[in-house]
Amino acid sequence: MDIGTYAAASLGIVQLRKLEIQNNNLANVNTVGFKRQVLVTSPENFDETFAKQIEGKDPYASGDQDRVATVNEVATHTDFSMGAIKSTGNPLDVALRNPNEFFVVNTPQGRMYTRAGNFTLDANGTVVTQDGMQVQGDGGAITAQGAGVNIGADGTVRAGANIVGRLQIVRFAETKGLQPVEGTRFKVVSGPQPTPVEGFVEPRSLEMSNVSAVTGMIDLITTNRAFDAYTKAAQTIDSLNQAAITQVGRRQ
């Protein structure tokens, strides 16, 4: 494989991955509490080259990888900047005011964290997420039976005049150790555990996605054009190589 083909193919693969991430971001532009993903790339070392990765399949790849390094995917990062806070009037909707704070959710896979505060009540009167996962209070699950259930600015859950619990809110010193799972939920994969805080919320409101539809569409168009350019470059290089082979093999 030609050196230029390695470079074009590597860059094309990166753009394809960007398209997947950007499409997912745009698909969640109206998802409560969603945080956009960003692909970060950098030049790779020679021992990490695209040619090196396929040298077992291509006997000529080993020599090529000593001559060219392209780019590779380093990581997918989450942008935890706050989304716009939208007033809904729903007594069980709450929005966090600080970007490093999260609600705690109990799931079959363990404890997870979310900024999506569009809560509801299940058949037993337990405060849950939209997909039925228990929202944790300071003393565990919160059950609010009775009329007039609402959540106050200090996170307390009331059923009429009675306080039945308080939302557990935690704060991360940094969010680098959080990995997105299941849409708007996150789990800790590295770094310190969060600290419980007396966080305050914006009642009857929701934090919306931090994805900009306009910026997202511009990024999507730019990435799509880049992918097309790298694909055409690889095709052009291949055509030139075929032409060169034909010319060299032709009798004079």
pLDDT for position 66: 47
Domain count, the chain: 2
**Domain of 96?**
85-207
Q: How far apart are CA 173 and CA 192, in angstroms?
A: 8
Confidence band, pLDDT 50/70/90 cuts, at residue 246: confident
Q: Convert the pLDDT of each residue in 159-215 to its tens digit.
A: 988 999 999 999 999 998 999 997 899 999 988 899 999 888 999 999 999 999 998
The answer to whether residues 109 and 191 belong to one domain is yes
- Extract the tokens encoding 46: 């020679």
The answer to whether residues 224 and 201 belong to one domain is no
Q: How many helices (H) and strands (E) does the chain have?
A: 4, 19
Residue pair 178/189 in contact (Cβ under 8 Å)? The answer is: yes
DSSP 53-112: HTTTT-TTHHHHTTT---EEEEEEEE--PPPPEEE---TTBEEESSTTEEEEEEETTEEE
The answer to whether residues 94 and 69 belong to one domain is no
Beta bridge partners of 87: 205
Instruction: Please state, as a whole number, how many other Cβ atoms lie within 10 Å of the Cβ of residue 133.
Output: 18
The answer to whether residues 95 and 146 belong to one domain is yes
- Extract the tokens encoding 238: 């291949």
Q: Convert the pLDDT of each residue in 14-65 to its tens digit.
A: 777 888 899 999 999 999 999 999 987 766 555 555 555 555 555 555 554 4
Q: Convert the pLDDT of each residue in 105-137 to its tens digit.
A: 999 999 999 999 999 999 999 999 999 999 999
Q: How far apart are CA 80 and CA 73, in angstroms?
A: 20
Amino acid at position 97, single letter: R
The answer to whether residues 58 and 140 belong to one domain is no
The answer to whether residues 114 and 150 belong to one domain is yes
Amino acid at position 188, single letter: V
Beta bridge partners of 180: 186
Q: How far apart are CA 73 and CA 231, in angstroms?
A: 18
The answer to whether residues 132 and 157 belong to one domain is yes
**162 φ/ψ angles, rounded to the nearest 5 degrees:** -95, 135
The answer to whether residues 104 and 198 belong to one domain is yes
Element (H, E) at 217: helix 213-249
